[in-house]
Structures are given as structure tokens and as C-alpha cells.
Amino acid sequence: MQLQGPFPDISRCEIKLIWANAREIEPVHADSPTRVSSEDVVWLIESGGVCLQHGLGQTTARPGEWLLLPVHARHQQFTPGSRLLSIRFQLTLPGGTPVFARGHAHCVPADSVPEFTRAARHLQQTLLPWQQVQTLALGRARIPLLENLRIEALFYAWLGEYVRLMQRLGEPGNLSQPLDPRLAAALEALRSHPMRERFSEAALAAPLQLSSRQLNRLLQAHAGQTLKGLYEARRLELARHMLRETRLPLKEIAFELGFSSPAHFSNWFRGRLQTTPTAFRNQSAPETPMPMRVMPKS
């Protein structure tokens, strides 16, 4: 079969596994807004069910069904005791546009996509020993090289099945649009900026021969946010993720996110979510926590 282009330049795309886990939905997340944005999210409902509200109405998924979330998902309502396998990842063009438009929610029986389901379970099981330290949120710097390569290989194998499924479902792709090279460089610098290091708009803009004001004007036109807004959104998502999915001490989370102290982190977090990191973690904790596996520092 002759494939028709144009195709996105994979060397310039942002392709990253964020997490793959299986868990019972905590009460605090059972009836709540859904955060999707530029990240791709897929759920396999193992028990219970979910009603997802989105831009085109609502979609219900039951046990044994995959739910592929659209960009504009707004609200999720799980039945009590629901359990799911969740994979969150990034597959975006330069500048952050999703490779697939994801305008619709798709509900797919798991037994109709056996290779997709098998690859997802294999990926999730491989990540299980590392889940409690959740090194994926910190760049996987604490996972040994061989394990990291194995995870990456399994992720790409599953991602191939995901792309095949999206094409089968007729989900349209977004073609890469020309992007101001200064803006592309700024977005890449923002994505790769170590969270534990001080963030400076001026320092990021200077190599691009732009002022902070000029760079923010470009970002507002492209993404509707300032550089600081994008940075803080990334920081908050990482904070929620580490609190919800790991047992890392608050002191270590604060350090990894660039805060001078746990108290500074707690005040920042409370100012955005009206709850403390400890309260958020306690509400999100699974009923039966997995045993902690202590990893050597790299």
C-alpha cells in the first residue's frame, strides 16, 4: 500500500510517556473536571464505569472498553469503586499541537483491539516496580539504563498500536504548521528546563534576541498564555502527579520542583488548589498502597 503524505517530522515531535498505571479511582477524582489539554489520555475500564462530558456531548464507557479522551473533555463521573488502566502520554507536533486532532471521544471494546490491549498491559506491568518513586515525573533519572530502554521500547511498541487504532477510527491528523523558529526554541527550552533550577523569562528570551515582552507576545498569540503561565501549569501538573502517584516525601517533591522549602511549596500549592499538598495526597491515596521500593540515587 502506498502511504500518502505529508507526515509530521518525528525528529521534531514531542513524544513522551508520562505514566501508565492501574488503580481504583479515588473518591476525590470520581466526580471532577478532566485535565487533558495537549496530552493524550486513554483509559481501559476494568470495573465500574465512567461518563465523560466533552464538547460534543457525553460518552459512557463500561468494563472491558477503552475510552480515548478528546482534547475538549470537561468532566468525568465514575461509578463508585471503578478501576481502570490509565496511560497518559505526549504525542505533539513542534509547538505543542497534538498529532491527532482528537475532536471526538472514542469508546472501543478491548477484545476488538487485542494487540493494543496486550501492549498496554505489558507496559503497565513493566512500570509497576518503579511506580512508587515515580521517576517518570522526574525524567526517569533513577531508573537503570537497561530498564529505561526497555520501558521506551515497550512504549513505542504500544504507541504504534495507538497510531494504528486512531487511523482505523478515522481520527484526523494535524499537519505541522510553520512555527516562528524563536517560538519553537522557546517552547523547547521551557520543556527541557530542569524544574529544580531557577526559572527566568529574561534568561530564556536573551539567546533568542528577544525581550521577555516580545516573547510573551508571541506566546500569547500561539498558545494563549505567557511563558510564566506555561511554566507554572507544567509545575502544577507535576506536583499533582507526584503527590497522587508517588510516595516521595514532600521535602523531596519541593526540591525537585524548585522550591526553597516544603513550606514555600505548600503555600504555592494551596494558593492554586485551595488545599495543602498533604491533604491532596491523603485524598488521592489508594486504599492498599504498594510496597515502597527504595532506588539508589544515580
Domain count, the chain: 2
At 246 the pLDDT is 77
In a domain, 232, yes or no: yes
Q: Which of 164-200 are b and which e, b meaning 16 or more Cβ less than 10 Å from the residue's Cβ? A: ebbeeeebebeebeebeebbbebbeebeebebeeebe
Residues 145 and 269 both lie in one domain: no
- Which strand (E) or helix (H) includes residue 286? none
Residues 57 and 86 both lie in one domain: yes
At 136 the pLDDT is 55
Q: What are phi and psi of 61, to 5 degrees?
A: -120, 140
Residues 17 and 161 both lie in one domain: yes
The whole-angstrom distance between residue 132's C-alpha and the CA centroid of its chain comes to 17
Instruction: Please choose, from the candidates 175, 150, 195, 45, the residue with its C-alpha nearest in 3D space to the C-alpha of residue 97.
Output: 175
Domain of residue 158, CATH code: 2.60.120.10
At 164 the pLDDT is 93
Asked if omega into 277 is within 30° of 0 (cis), the reply is: no
Last residue of a domain, one of 136, 168, 200: 168
Cell of 186: 522557546
Cell of 104: 471526538
| Cα–Cα distance, 30 to 272 (Å, whole number) | 20
Residues 163 and 190 both lie in one domain: no
One-letter amino acid for residue 149 of the chain: L
One-letter amino acid for residue 54 of the chain: H
In a domain, 290, yes or no: no
Residues 57 and 154 both lie in one domain: yes
Last residue of a domain, one of 168, 203, 224: 168
Last residue of a domain, one of 117, 136, 168: 168
Q: Which residues have C-beta within 8 Å of that of residue 255, sequence separation ≥ 6?
A: 196
In a domain, 294, yes or no: no
Residues 190 and 259 both lie in one domain: yes
Domain of residue 229, CATH code: 1.10.10.60
Tell me the residue range of the domain where 198 lies: 181-284
Instruction: Please choose, from the candidates 36, 37, 26, 34, the residue with its C-alpha nearest in 3D space to the C-alpha of residue 53.
Output: 34
Instruction: Please choose, from the candidates 82, 92, 78, the residue with its C-alpha nearest in 3D space to the C-alpha of residue 13.
Output: 92
In a domain, 298, yes or no: no
In a domain, 100, yes or no: yes
In a domain, 1, yes or no: no
At 233 the pLDDT is 82
Task: Please check whether residue 49 is in contact with residue 61, taking contact to mean a CB–CB distance below 8 angstroms.
Answer: yes
Residues 46 and 189 both lie in one domain: no
At 137 the pLDDT is 54
Residues 259 and 280 both lie in one domain: yes
Residues 133 and 236 both lie in one domain: no
Residues 63 and 198 both lie in one domain: no
Q: Is the dihedral of CA 70, 71, 75, 76 positive or negative?
A: positive
Residues 128 and 193 both lie in one domain: no
pLDDT in single tens digits along all 298 residues of the chain? 344 455 666 777 888 898 888 989 888 778 888 765 668 999 999 999 999 988 778 999 999 999 999 888 788 999 999 999 999 998 987 667 788 888 889 999 999 999 999 999 999 999 888 765 444 555 567 788 999 899 999 999 999 999 999 989 988 877 555 667 787 788 778 877 888 888 888 888 888 888 888 888 888 776 677 888 888 888 888 888 888 777 788 999 999 899 999 999 999 999 988 899 999 888 765 433 333 333 334 3
Residues 155 and 30 both lie in one domain: yes
